[in-house]
Amino acid sequence: MGPTWATASRPITPDVIRPGGYVSGPTQFGLADAVLWYALFGAVGIEPMALTSELSIRFLRPAQGEVLHARADLHTVGRRNVVGTIALWMDDRVDKPVSVAQGTYVRPPEGRRPATLRRMEMRLPGGGSILDAVFEPSSTPGRLPTSGATVVDPPWTSCSRRSPACGRATWST
């Protein structure tokens, strides 16, 4: 994760394979949505109440392989909206994207943002990924501090091993 980008990956399991051996569209869409959310954190700090406002995807070629990867790049970071594009590819074939997406996240109004977060877990629906981050309080509520951020678990661990309650973000102040 950087100030205007983020990457994510998801191992492919039999339950997300469509006839013909292709990774399903909803699986690709879900990873695109999640990685854009993660990129938002690099730009404005962890803001769990940011919501997808718009997301569209174009499927370029059949997605076949062991691991689906995605990279989101932000183009506009405003007070209320964050806009970015996402490229998705299989295994190590970054030069052959299987789909591309563009999306917008809307940030909550200033008065409705939560207090500075101390812990957050992010999981992809359907057994995808988990990121468990613990960090120091920031002087600016809702902003990720420049130092003190640590990943407690490996960033992309199977959700089903940790909890059956996938698809949730939890945080504590």
Architecture category of domain 5-172 in CATH? Roll (3.10)
Q: How far apart are CA 9 and CA 50, in angstroms?
A: 21
Q: What is the pLDDT of residues 57-115, one digit of tens each?
A: 999 999 999 999 999 999 999 999 999 999 999 999 999 999 999 999 999 887 665 55
In the predicted model, what is the mean pLDDT of the chain? 75
Q: Where exactly are the structural domains of the chain?
A: 5-172
Q: Indicate whether 147 pLDDT > 80.
A: no
- Quickly state the pLDDT bin for 47 (edges 50, 70, 90): confident
| pTM beyond 0.95, yes or no | no
Place of tokens 């594009």: 85
Instruction: Report which of 62, 102, 105 is spatially closest to residue 80, judged by C-alpha positions.
Output: 105
